Chains A and B, each alone.
Chain A
C-alpha cells in the first residue's frame, strides 16, 4: 500500500513538475511573442513616422496633347500639326502647418524649364496673412486660373501681352481675413520677367526667359527698379441665385531706358531720355465673375485692363573705323486696352460649353486707317531719323471669339474641341495696299497697283486675315 502511495506521489509530482515545465515553456514562448510584437510595433511606429513625412509631399501634374489646324496664311504651307502643349509635374511639400514649398518644372521635347519655385509662409496666429517668395503667378484672375481648368484653352490676348509667361520672380503678401470674403495680394517683382530686350547689335540682352544672355547672372534683375502689383477681390453671395466675385488690380512698373529718346503712343512725339531713366509701365484693370445656379449652372466672367506699356530701345552707335553707324531705336510707350468676356454653361454633369469674346488693342492712339504704306506713314517726324519707328501691324487691334466644348470623362481626363475666330483691325489701304496681293504663303503675287507700283509681299491687313484655329486637346491630370 505504501509502495502504491509512493508511486502515486511520484507520478503526481512528475505531472506537477511537467506542468510547471510546460508553464515555464509557455511563459517563455509568450515572452518571446510579446517581444516580437513589441519589436513589430516599434518598427511599425517608425514606418508610420516615415510615411507621415511622405504624406507631406503632394505630387500633381497634367499633360496636354493637342492637334491644331490653323487657317492662317502666315503659317502656310504647314497648316496642321500635333503638339505637346504642357507636360508638368508639381511637387508641393508642406513642411509644417503653415509652411509650403512648391516646385513645378515644365517638360517639353526640347528642354525642361522651371515654371514655379516658391515658398509660402502662412501666419499661424491670425491665419490671415501669407508671405510668398520665389517664382510664381502674377496676381491676376486669368493668370492664376490654371490652364487645366480654363474653359477656353489659351489665355486672353491682353493677358498674354502684358503678362508673358504668367510668372515672375519676387515676393507677395496675401491677406485673407477669416471674417470677410476679401482677398488682397500685394506683390513686388523684378519686372523684366519674360520680356525681350535687345542690344544695339540686335542680339538679346534679356531673352524673354529670365536670363541675361551674355552674362552669367541668371534670374536677376534688368534694373534696380521694382514693379509692384496690387489686387483685391471681394465675394458676394446672391442668395439662392449664386454669387458675384469682383475686384481690381493695378500694376506700377518701369524698365530702364537704354535709348536717348522715348516715342509716344501716337508716333508723333519723341521726348529726350537718358540712359537709365525709368520708362513707366502702369495699368489698371477691373474684373468680375458671376456664378448663377440657373439652368444647371452657368457663369459670366469678364475683365477690362487699360494703361501704358513700354518697350526699350537702344541709342545709336556712330561709325568707327570700318564699322558702320548703327541707327538707334527709341523707347516706346504704348497706351493699350483689352478685355475679355466669358460665358460658360454646364451641359449636364459631364459636358461644358464656353464662349469667350476677347479684344486687345495694343495701341489705342493709332487706328487701322493710320497704317498705310511704309512711304506714306504720317505723323512721326522727329528730326533725328535714326530714331525712326513706324506704325506696324503690331499696332492693330485683334478680336478673338473662342468657342469650346469640353467633355469630362472623369476627374482626370478632359477632351476639348475649340474653334477660335480671329479677326484683325483693318489697315488703311489708301493708294498703295489696294490689290489682293497675298498668296497662300504670304508672298507677293508680283502684281502692280493702280499706280503701277509693284505690290509688296506680306499679308493684306486691309482685309480680314484668316487666323482662325481649330484645336482638339486631350488633357490628363493627376
Chain B
C-alpha cells in the first residue's frame, strides 16, 4: 500500500512538473545585456524595432560579454550579447542551472581594430609585433619603426569579450601588467586619441578621432584595415563573429525580434553602425 502511494506521489509530481509549469509565460519585455562592443548596435536594433512594434519593450545594457553570460546563467537577461564564444565552463554552468546548452546566434561580424594616435608615424604592425607589444616585450615605438618613446598600452577589462578574443588570437599569452584597462571601447579610443604614444584595440564601429593601424598577418603579407571587403575575403586577420546567446530556442516576441535582426532590415543596421553583416 505504501509503495503504491509513493508511486502515485511521484507520478503526480512529474505530471505537475511537465504540464502545470511546462512553459514560461510569454514576455513582451526583452532584456538584453552583455558586450560593450555590441551595445551601440543592440541599442539601434531595439530603437528601430520598438518603433514598429510598440507592444514590445526591449531594454539594452552593456557591461561586457562576461557580465552578459553571467546574467544569462543567473536568469537576469533574456539575450546575452557576446563578442566571443561562450566558454565550456560557462556552458556547464548554464547546463547545471537551466538544463540547456544555450542557443548561439551569430548576428554580425566585426574586425578588431588597432587604434593609434594620429601623430604616431607607425602605420602598420604585424600580428607578431602586436603580440610582443601587448605582452610588454616591445616597450618602445622605435623598435617597430616609430619615435623613441615608451609605448602606452590601453585595453579592455577582463570581463570583456574583446579582451578575451584579442588575448587568445593576437597576444597569445598574458597582457603586460602596464596595460591600462578601461571600461568600454569608447574609453580606449578616447585614451589613444589623447595620448601620442598610445595604442589600443576594439570594435571597428568606434574608430573615430584615431588612426587605424594596418595589420599584417606576417612580415611578407600586405597590411590591411577592417573593411567589408577585407573582412569578407579574410584578408584582414583579426575578425570575429558577434553573437547573441539565449537559454532556450526563442519563441513569441523574442523569436520575432531575432528573426528581424537576421533579416535584411536588421542586417542593414549592422552596416550603418559600422559593423559587418553575417552573410
Contacts and interface: CB of A to CB of B under 8 A. Distances in A.
Contact of A421 (B9, B178, B249): B9
A348 B25 contact: yes
14 contacts: A292-B99, A296-B23, A297-B98, A345-B21, A346-B98, A353-B16, A353-B17, A355-B13, A410-B74, A411-B73, A411-B76, A421-B6, A421-B10, A464-B3
Given A97-B174, A240-B249, A403-B10, A299 B99 contact: yes
A45 B97 CA distance: 40
Contact of B248 (A49, A149, A297): A297
Nearest to B16: A353
Contacts of A346: 24, 98-99
A52 B74 contact: no
Contact of B18 (A292, A345, A401): A345
B175 to A, nearest CB: 10
Contacts of B6: 401, 421, 423
Given A293-B248, A348-B25, A355 B98 contact: no
Nearest to B78: A349
A45 B180 CA distance: 10
Interface string A136-169: 0000000001000100000000000000000000
A149 B96 contact: yes
B3 A296 contact: no
Interface in B13-34: 13-14, 16-18, 21-25
A343 interface: yes
Interface residues of B, number: 36
Contact of A242 (B9, B17, B100): B100
Contacts of B178: 45
B75 interface: yes
A348 B24 CA distance: 4
Contacts of B279: none
Contacts of A52: 177
Given A96-B174, A97-B174, A291-B95, A403 B100 contact: no
Contacts of A353: 13, 16-17, 21
B22 A464 contact: no
B95 to A, nearest CB: 6
Interface string A156-197: 000000000000000000001000000000000000000000
Nearest to A127: B168
B173 interface: yes
B36 to A, nearest CB: 19
B177 A49 contact: yes
A293 B101 contact: yes
A421 B95 CA distance: 27
A176 B9 CA distance: 42
The 4 nearest A-B residue pairs measured at CB: A411-B74, A347-B21, A299-B99, A353-B17
Interface in A337-356: 343-351, 353, 355
A405 to B, nearest CB: 9
Contacts of B100: 242, 291-293, 297
Interface residues of A, number: 40
Q: Looking at chain A's contact residues, is the secondary structure mostly helix, strand, loop, or mixed?
A: strand
Contacts of B249: 240, 293
Nearest to A468: B6
Given A293-B249, A347-B21, A353-B21, A97 B3 contact: no
Given A52-B177, A293-B100, A299-B99, A423 B3 contact: yes
B21 A291 contact: no
A243 interface: yes
Contacts of A243: 95, 101
Contact of A297 (B14, B25, B247): B247
Given A293-B101, A293-B103, A296-B24, A355 B174 contact: no
A461 to B, nearest CB: 15
A349 B24 contact: yes
B99 A344 contact: yes
Nearest to B180: A48
B2 interface: yes
A295 B100 CA distance: 11
Most buried by A among B74, B96, B103, B177: B96
Contacts of A237: 101
A348 B26 CA distance: 10
Interface in A419-478: 421, 423, 464
Nearest to B93: A149
A346 B98 CA distance: 6
A40 B103 CA distance: 47
A49 B6 CA distance: 61
Nearest to A345: B17
Nearest to A464: B2
Interface string A43-73: 0010001001000000000000000000000
A408 interface: yes
Contacts of B73: 411
A331 B10 CA distance: 40
A349 B75 contact: yes
Contacts of B25: 348
Contacts of B95: 243, 289, 291, 299
Interface in A260-303: 289, 291-293, 295-299
A232 B17 CA distance: 32
A350 B75 contact: yes
